[in-house]
Structure 1
């Protein structure tokens, strides 16, 4: 039977792509380019609907735009600010969000918001255009705030899930102000990804106006209906900080990165990169206090592992261990202890530093 013209075209495309894919492993990142193209190639032979192709294409286009925008800023720490689009500019929450964002930029951070009104607008206003990103979702009833409109760091997403991917991928801290369904969704999404280890450890700060009860009542629900019945671990409360003080919010973010730099898995080992090396006695203390989160072995000092790719973190000292990948709340406690130990060690070595 003679193949129809579309079938011939598809077969020819598959042949050409196979030739291209076989040449890719020798390129930088060739392994991953090869895998991505191989997925698309396999799908050309599958029975999937037109809508499926539209979803796939629009998702890739969302990611393409975001990759391009964020790449020049990949080495600058960023803070995501979530909160209601309905909060007006004459409210304490709006003023707090703007002040918070401005303070962050004075300490080297950039700010990411959802690019809408309310708290998102306040975040962009406080940060200023130069230090702002807007990750806008295309909705019929909500536009982009005027402070980020037209900026090259404004990214328009078709899908919430691709937008959320970049909020978590690019951020080094998350601040949540009061809000509605969207803010609650973002709060629980962030907590879920941190609790399950699908996102790297970052500080989560839940900020209310002075004397406000929004997050305190939310926390009471968490303790009564999730922690007490055992639906989440007691230590999961360590994943977030609730405060009505901007000073506490700043400290929660700054202290998280006082000694801790970043982390990743290398094979089965969890690698924590540090800004300064811990004392041997401090590492021994960590082994005594956190043996419960180790699958086997001990927490040990290390330099860059042979399996790691050389980058800007290559010279940083490391701690390595076999983490059970389950007790993320305890991991946050470990990071807090590392930061306290490292700060104390630095102060002891340099008493003139306060």
Structure 2
């Protein structure tokens, strides 16, 4: 029998350069648990040189990496504060019902202990920022040739981040969100709602409450919802269960109630090995566990279980919270959203 090939190392073609990278991370005393990531990032950047990357490609990589690094830095002090991202038209005038609702929504979410994240523009974004106030909000601006100067409520705040690229900006608009609220808007808003739902539908983003506020000129989201059911579901382009990933609501009160209900028992989730692990605010009763198994057996590969605290692989995160361990088969994130609803009803 032949010898089994050793796993190929991720490294540069130059052994001397590889040694210099190792020496650099050691000199900086980077902790062992993260050293490999820093080494691989340095190797990746220098592989662009080995690949003969064009100046244009280098500019994209350079700018994107800078935007990522700076955004991580700005958000880091607020990692434990829940945030809601608000999307909507930059063209909605102040005083219109949708703008008034966005002001109220921003203010009410801050009263609930949340921070507000917007795209930093005018219209709905500026209204939500006005309601939240600069101290309790973030603005993720984009450089455009028209209609996108930062609104006055965030313009001078250090939590304003200006992006060159939509893809880096959109990453943080979704990544930092513990909830997402969509007000009526144009192409950008429609793009953002479909992208957010696609990320959740495919398991690329954690499931969070997505509320579509039917405020202002109507129908808007009801028409969109009819398209989702009457065309996308009807033509089997999405599953009927995928529509569980969003809620159309008629008022600010209903939107806030939906967001708060999502976190009534459910706290957060992470993947541990082959399992989805839910952190809960309180454990489920035995009868609820039996009913959960019965209702959601179609998406579970085996019996669900509970643990009084963190699993060993979690590193002691949130030690005060009990765990629900789910052998989720990842076949339907819409069904997983309904499972979260079941948990919160207990």
TM-score by length of 2: 0.91
Structure 1 residue 28: deviation in Å?
Answer: 4.6
Could you say which residue in structure 2 is the equivalent of 1:274? Answer: 280
Q: How does 1:256-271 map to 2 (within 5 A)?
A: 256-271=262-277
Taking a change above 3 Å as real, the CA distance of residues 11 and 30 of structure 1, as seen in their structure-2 partners, is closer
Could you say which residue in structure 1 is the equivalent of 2:133? Answer: 128
Could you say which residue in structure 2 is the equivalent of 1:249? Answer: 255
Contact 1:175–1:207 at 8 Å: present in 2 too? Answer: yes
Q: Distance in 1 between matches of 2:116 and 2:216?
A: 23
Q: How does 1:3-22 map to 2 (within 5 A)?
A: 15-21=19-25
Contact 1:21–1:34 at 8 Å: present in 2 too? Answer: yes
Taking a change above 3 Å as real, the CA distance of residues 95 and 26 of structure 1, as seen in their structure-2 partners, is closer
Could you say which residue in structure 1 is the equivalent of 2:90? Answer: 85
Could you say which residue in structure 1 is the equivalent of 2:292? Answer: 286
What SS does the aligned partner of 1:144 have? coil
CA deviation string 1:238-283 (max 9, x = no partner): 1001011222111110000011000011111111110111111111
Q: How does 1:140-151 map to 2 (within 5 A)?
A: 140-141=145-146, 142-151=148-157
Q: Distance in 2 between matches of 1:286 and 1:120?
A: 39
Contact 1:63–1:162 at 8 Å: present in 2 too? Answer: yes
Q: Is 1:189–2:189 an aligned residue pair?
A: no
2:32 alignment partner, one of 9, 27, 38: 27
What SS does the aligned partner of 1:108 have? coil
Structure 1 residue 307: deviation in Å?
Answer: 1.2
Could you say which residue in structure 1 is the equivalent of 2:323? Answer: 318
Q: Is 1:60–2:65 an aligned residue pair?
A: yes
Count how many residue pairs are aligned between Structure 1 and Structure 2: 330
Quick check: 111-120 or 40-49, which moved more? 40-49
Could you say which residue in structure 2 is the equivalent of 1:154? Answer: 160
CA deviation string 1:296-338 (max 9, x = no partner): 2111112311111223x12211111221212111111000010
CA RMSD of aligned residues (A): 1.7
2:313 alignment partner, one of 307, 310, 313: 307
2:177 alignment partner, one of 171, 175, 185: 171
Unaligned runs of 5+ in 1: 1-9, 342-354
1:99 alignment partner, one of 97, 104, 108: 104
Unaligned runs of 5+ in 2: 1-13
Contact 1:25–1:34 at 8 Å: present in 2 too? Answer: no
What SS does the aligned partner of 1:133 have? strand
1:208 alignment partner, one of 195, 203, 214: 214
Q: Distance in 1 between matches of 2:265 and 2:208?
A: 13
Q: Distance in 1 between matches of 2:217 and 2:50?
A: 60
Q: Distance in 2 between matches of 1:253 and 1:199?
A: 17
Q: Distance in 1 between matches of 2:170 and 2:319?
A: 29
What SS does the aligned partner of 2:326 have? strand
Q: Distance in 2 between matches of 1:153 and 1:21?
A: 30
Could you say which residue in structure 2 is the equivalent of 1:224? Answer: 230
Contact 2:22–2:39 at 8 Å: present in 1 too? Answer: no
Q: Distance in 2 between matches of 1:11 and 1:266?
A: 36
Q: Distance in 2 between matches of 1:136 and 1:309?
A: 35
Q: Distance in 1 between matches of 2:329 and 2:257?
A: 29
Could you say which residue in structure 1 is the equivalent of 2:10? Answer: none
Structure 1 residue 17: deviation in Å?
Answer: 1.8
What SS does the aligned partner of 2:139 have? strand
What SS does the aligned partner of 1:59 have? helix
TM-score by length of 1: 0.89
Q: Distance in 1 between matches of 2:212 and 2:175?
A: 19
